[in-house]
Copies of this chain bind each other. A is one copy, B any other.
Amino acid sequence: MVLQHMFGSADSLITIDLDAITANWRYMDSLSAASTLTASVVKADAYGLGADVIAPRLAAEGCQLFFVMSLDEGIRLRHSLHLAGFDGLPIFCLSGCHAGQEKEYLANGLSPVINDLNQIARLGILAKRHDLAIPAALHVDTGMTRLGLSPDETDWLVAHIQDGADALEGIELIYLMSHMSSAEVESAPSNGQQLDAFKALRPFFAKARASLANSGGVLLGKRFHFDMTRPGVALYGAHPAGVSAASEKAELLHPVVKWDARILQLRHACSGEAVGYGGTHILRRDSLIATVGVGYGDGYPRCLGGIAVAQIKGHPAPIIGRISMDSMALDVTDMPETAIRSATTARLLGSHYDISMMAKDAGTISYEILTSLGQRPARHYLGNSCGSTIDCL
């Protein structure tokens, strides 16, 4: 009943454990040397979980540096941190500073992650005009072929630093960065190759601190940590290699997300009747069905109809038939009558079925499960200033 009350007027509730997030940040931080800064990647709205709430909490925990993607996200994060009393913390925008965005970068105290020579030139001109040094990171590509200076561009830049031309004039290069393509695969040859390529470039940017590791990179060990690490998905309780929290290999990452749905209706159906759109599921016995108020319109992957299992009062409740936009049907025939009759909610994500298991079943990665969580479910943050907790199911 406590839980149902928290749904308010919504049909489901996503519970996000802020204490788990900070514990995960501390764990990632503990893996690197004391001199290595542990940033927090809060792009894509903190992987779908709410940057406005999570970033200030991480700042309170001691995180001194944040990464977002777009200028938009940077502006919003600056505002959230300001409201919480954390002014002046550096925020880096991975997308870079695009033509026309320069003023907003300066006005909001945001730092671009520079991805190409064009941006270097443009920011250099801006710096000259305003007679200032623009704090920035430089992203060099070492094998991801996505963002960052290509090897050709890097060679050009290195040549134009060495010959005294100071191609970086006006830019206060705080970090030299690169990004790993397969850090979550311990045995990937690209890890060592990217590490070597990155190390070879460092001497040319001697004043800049260095950063290479995402969550996977942090777990690879200290060789990959340099001056700053950039964990993202691990903060949100998902192992970068997709290891379930239930596994021995799960590291000391705490699960962060639970998802509970309101039972909208409990009903009998007869053997032979078809369940859901397309009538794809034909009942093989007289059944008791609980229809719950979450569907793919809430971010629950539609492809998990007939595959995933919910949980009601500790009992498994398999999803049957196709998942609808706003609801899904659970087979609760095998549940004890007293348990199902008094149940008001079903757990969709939790220890019985975590983000990693859901990702595996949906043929994707935990990251996409997290960022797909919809806006319709109510959200409750455990460990928030109000100190409220949920003890449910």
Task: Identify the A interface with B (CB < 8 A).
Answer: 4-5, 8-11, 43-45, 47-48, 69-75, 94-96, 98, 100-101, 104, 115-116, 141, 143-147, 150, 152-153, 181-182, 185, 190, 262, 264-269, 273-279, 283, 289, 291, 293, 295-299, 302-303, 321, 324-327, 329, 363-365, 367-368, 371-372, 374-376, 378
Contact = CB atoms under 8 A, between A and B. Distances in A.
Given A145-B289, A181-B276, A116 B265 contact: yes
B145 A69 contact: no
Nearest to A185: B278
Contacts of A190: 274, 279
Given A10-B70, A181-B278, A185-B278, 6 more contacts: A4-B100, A11-B69, A69-B327, A95-B262, A96-B265, A116-B266
Contacts of A279: 143, 181-182, 190
A70 B298 CA distance: 12
Contact of A9 (B70, B185, B374): B70
A24 B234 CA distance: 45
A268 B152 contact: yes
B371 A75 contact: no
A297 B371 contact: yes
A335 B184 CA distance: 35
Contacts of A100: 4-5
Copies of this protein in the complex: 2
A11 B276 contact: no
Contacts of A104: 9
Contacts of A277: 144, 181-182
A171 to B, nearest CB: 17
Given A264-B96, A277-B181, A296 B152 contact: no
A367 B70 contact: no
A252 to B, nearest CB: 24
Contacts of A365: 302
A147 B296 CA distance: 16
A326 B181 contact: no
A43 B95 CA distance: 33
Contact of A371 (B115, B276, B325): B325
A146 B9 contact: no
B296 A72 contact: no
